[in-house]
A and B are shown apart, each in its own frame.
Chain A
Amino acid sequence: MALMPIAVVVVGVFLPAYPLRILDLVLLYAILGMGLNIVVGYAGLLDLGYVAFYAIGAYTYALLASPQFDLHLPFLLILAIGAGLAALAGVLLGIPVLRLRGDYLAIVTLGFGEIIRVLMNNLDWMTNGPQGIARIDEASLFGWRVSTPVDFLYLLVGLAVLTFLFVWRLQESALGTALAAVREDQDAARGCGIDTTGVKLIAFATSATIGGVGGVVFASMQRFVSPESFTFWESLSIVLVVVVGGLGNPFGVMLGAGLLVLVPELLRAYADYRQLLFGVALVLVILARPMGLIRREYGPSWFARKLMAR
């Protein structure tokens, strides 16, 4: 398993610029998908506004490291700030909703995603409105300038590995057990002494944090942000990454990220039909394989056991 990221790096380094950019995008979506998976796959809650946290991260970087306010804070500091702000937003949004039934979360997060976008569009003094913020600083980590697609490949592979290890540990820890109980039968979970609102809030905030980190990296990669990148469609794409690949399974999420980024690239000629095909795919996957292409059981722990057994 440890060989996979190395393989990705080795292959990536020799790729021409265009496919390399796509590989970077796959990794970014895999990170976002693993984050969203905590809420959708582990806790069984539908979050349709994940892009809001992503946007918070992206705009944090754009505002704190660009000529917009002539602030140029270091990348790592902004990464922490962006993650923190996204987590805070997750908690504030989660408090009214998470003590209620799960499906209200879907509609409230859907609304929240829209609100964030409307705010970005209209708070001109801060965000420049629809024009967005350009000329964002180059990222740098301890003196390492992260600017070319290869640099981002290293950064993203590193982040993806960290995220993967974290969500694996989370799933296997007592928190993961508690979330699984919430997913299966919330009321019985309460009867077993689980503070369901509390654990859902942790899941929601953690997921938001990863979204925020993804957003910061995205902004440093594009070096330009505008509200257009954060539509509902983006949220839905990340949900698709999780659902198509495999609910509750980080391997599935990686596969999902690959498919969701690559297939549209291959179907460029039919761009008009892209969303239609996504919609049809979503319905078909749900009807035929409700748990996604890779089932929950065949996750990292199963894989680790297989390796040990050999």
Chain B
Amino acid sequence: MATLVLQQLINALTVGAIYALIALGYTMVYGVLRLINFAHSEMFTAGAFVALFAAGLLGGVTGHPGVALLAGLATFVAIGLLGVSVEAVAYRPLRGTSRLAPMLSALGMAVVIQNVVMLAGGRRPLIYPSFLPRGVINVAGAIVSYKQLAILAVALVLMVGLELLVNRTSLGVKIRAVAESAETASLVGINPNLPIALIFFVGPGLGAVAGILYASYYGVATFSMGFVIGMKAFTAAILGGIGSIPGAVLGGLLLGAIETFATAWMPALTHGVIGTEYRDIFAFSVLVLILLFRPSGLLGEHVSEETMVYKRDF
């Protein structure tokens, strides 16, 4: 029993770390622009496919650590640049208009990216060669794969890097200033475009790496896999408190845990009425419950309406 719980905990942590990496992109964009970046989920998908392409250029041996690292880096940069261009083309011209417009634009970009991936990578699920090391170790009876350890390690490194970037660099100060209030920041001479561009580089970059990890972990990639994962990651961001970077990490890990344990125990608890096919519904239930009882999330500050509501709420 204890072993089973330990096993599930490790599985939960792995999935949660991937959710957290994606949630970071949602939360940073939302924190600064108050925009649900629907295109973000497709950065995740595109990341998985671009990495495969990059590995192909590097000789095709995805399991080789050097190839994996280089391909990962190249993907981070490529998708990061894609993110920056999407912001410049589709979001920036709409800044300061109604809030409906950028969301619709983001939705359009999501459709565009997803279809480009489909046209390039095909409609059918792709068997994904893993970029992660193979093999397993036994920890107190639970089986931990090197894949899982690698995912946790990569996620940890990226999160620490982001933490340093945001809290220890002058660029990070600018990001936080713009997130606080773009207007005030511009009064003290901060051009908001630079920090915003940086966010649109880092967020999609992290999402892309999450895509590689996810596809490597499960061994498949489809052009449409971003949709559901994206919704879950956004739920994680709200769960943790949207706009909060530690919140996104906590939310991701928690959601991973809720989902893993609910999927494992629900069928037994409900005598099979609720089966594993409802896995995707748990995340949504969490979302609605959070919105009902604690809309500011776990780590989000309770913002008074005065500061939250903009001239046009929508």
Q: Tell me, yes or no, whether A and B come into direct contact in the complex with CB atoms closer than 8 A.
A: yes
Residues B90 and A118 in contact, CB atoms below 8 Å apart: no
Q: Give A240 Cβ to nearest chain B Cβ, in Å.
A: 9
Q: Which residues of B contact A282 (CB under 8 A)?
A: 104-105, 107-108, 111
Instruction: Say yes or no for A19: interface residue by CB 8 A criterion.
Output: no
Interface digits, B272-314 against A, CB 8 Å rule (1 contact, 0 not)? Answer: 0001011011011001100110010000000001101101111
Interface digits, A88-117 against B, CB 8 Å rule (1 contact, 0 not)? Answer: 000000001100111110111011101100
Interface digits, A150-187 against B, CB 8 Å rule (1 contact, 0 not)? Answer: 00000000000000000000000000000000111111
Interface digits, A129-156 against B, CB 8 Å rule (1 contact, 0 not)? Answer: 0000000000000000000000000000
Known: A103-B99, A104-B291. 4 other contacts (CB 8 A): A40-B100, A101-B313, A273-B119, A279-B110
**Whole-angstrom CA separation of A273 from B314 in the bound complex:** 31
Instruction: Say yes or no for B217: interface residue by CB 8 A criterion.
Output: no
Q: Which residues of B contact A111 (CB under 8 A)?
A: 231, 235, 283-284, 287-288
With A96-B288, A236-B111: A272-B119 Cβ-Cβ less than 8 Å: yes
Residue of B103, B110, B112 near A106 (CB, 8 A) is B103
Q: Which residue of B lies closest to A95 (CB)?
A: B292
Among listed A20-28, A250-258, A283-291, interface-contacting one: A283-291
Q: Which residues of B contact A224 (CB under 8 A)?
A: none
Residues A276 and B101 in contact, CB atoms below 8 Å apart: no
Residues A276 and B119 in contact, CB atoms below 8 Å apart: yes
What are 11 A-B contacts defined by CB distance under 8 Å? A96-B291, A103-B34, A103-B103, A106-B103, A118-B280, A118-B281, A122-B277, A272-B119, A275-B111, A283-B112, A287-B94
Q: Which residues of A contact B313 (CB under 8 A)?
A: 44, 101-102, 182, 185-187
Residues A186 and B309 in contact, CB atoms below 8 Å apart: yes
Q: Which residues of B contact A100 (CB under 8 A)?
A: 291, 295
Residues B291 and A280 in contact, CB atoms below 8 Å apart: no
**Whole-angstrom CA separation of A111 from B267 in the bound complex:** 22
Q: Which residues of B contact A273 (CB under 8 A)?
A: 115, 119
Q: Which residues of B contact A45 (CB under 8 A)?
A: 314
Interface size classification for chain B:
35 or more
Interface digits, B4-40 against A, CB 8 Å rule (1 contact, 0 not)? Answer: 0000000000000000000000000000001110000
Q: Give B303 Cβ to nearest chain A Cβ, in Å.
A: 10
Residues B309 and A112 in contact, CB atoms below 8 Å apart: no
**Whole-angstrom CA separation of A121 from B93 in the bound complex:** 41
Which residues of A are in contact with B by a Cβ distance under 8 Å?
A: 40, 44-46, 48, 96-97, 100-104, 106-108, 110-112, 114-115, 118, 121-122, 182-187, 232, 236, 239, 243, 247, 272-273, 275-276, 278-283, 286-287, 290
Q: Is the interface of A mostly helix, strand, loop or mixed?
A: helix
Instruction: Say yes or no for B109: interface residue by CB 8 A criterion.
Output: yes
**Whole-angstrom CA separation of A236 from B108 in the bound complex:** 10
**Whole-angstrom CA separation of A187 from B310 in the bound complex:** 9
Q: Give B282 Cβ to nearest chain A Cβ, in Å.
A: 11
Q: Which residues of B contact A122 (CB under 8 A)?
A: 275, 277-278
Q: Give A199 Cβ to nearest chain B Cβ, in Å.
A: 13
**Whole-angstrom CA separation of A101 from B313 in the bound complex:** 7
Interface digits, B82-126 against A, CB 8 Å rule (1 contact, 0 not)? Answer: 000000001001100111110111011111101110010000000
**Whole-angstrom CA separation of A282 from B109 in the bound complex:** 8
Residue of B108, B305, B308 near A283 (CB, 8 A) is B108
Q: Which residues of A contact B261 (CB under 8 A)?
A: none
3 closest residue pairs by CB, A with B: A279-B111, A282-B108, A186-B313
**Whole-angstrom CA separation of A283 from B227 in the bound complex:** 19
Interface digits, B120-156 against A, CB 8 Å rule (1 contact, 0 not)? Answer: 0000000000000000000000000000000000000
With A106-B36, A275-B111: A290-B312 Cβ-Cβ less than 8 Å: no
Instruction: Say yes or no for B173: interface residue by CB 8 A criterion.
Output: no
Q: Which residues of A contact B291 (CB under 8 A)?
A: 96-97, 100, 104, 108
Q: Which residues of B contact A187 (CB under 8 A)?
A: 305-306, 309, 313
